């Protein structure tokens, strides 16, 4: 289960916080969730679900294909 956390930056910071699923810039507050032992930042809980159900399986498949291609 994730949690909401405020995004805090100083006025002079040029840092942006992107959602790890959508790439959308997160302003105000971000959804923090642990995914496979890594704390990740999302724009909302639906983006976390997208990451778990679509991005991770596709990433694993691509890594497996790359490993198989290497031999």
List per-residue pLDDT tens for the chain, 71 residues long: 899 999 987 878 888 899 999 999 998 899 999 999 999 999 999 999 999 999 999 999 999 999 999 87
Whether the CB-CB separation of 21 and 47 falls below 8 Å is answered with yes
Q: How far is CA 23 from CA 26, 51, 65, in A?
A: 9, 11, 25
Please, are residues 16 and 25 in contact by the beta-carbon 8 Å criterion? yes
- Residues 39 and 30: beta-carbon distance below 8 Å: no
The answer to whether 16 touches 47, Cβ cutoff 8 Å, is no
Range list of β-strands (E), the chain: 3-6, 29-35, 38-42
pTM for the whole thing? 0.83
């Amino acid at each position: 289960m994730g949690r909401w956390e405020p995004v805090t930056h100083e006025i002079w910071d040029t840092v942006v916080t992107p959602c790890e699923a959508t790439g959308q810039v997160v302003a105000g507050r971000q959804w923090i969730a642990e995914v496979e032992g890594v704390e990740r930042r999302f724009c909302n809980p639906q983006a976390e679900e997208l990451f778990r159900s679509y991005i991770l399986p596709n990433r694993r498949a691509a890594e497996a294909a790359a490993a198989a291609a290497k031999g």
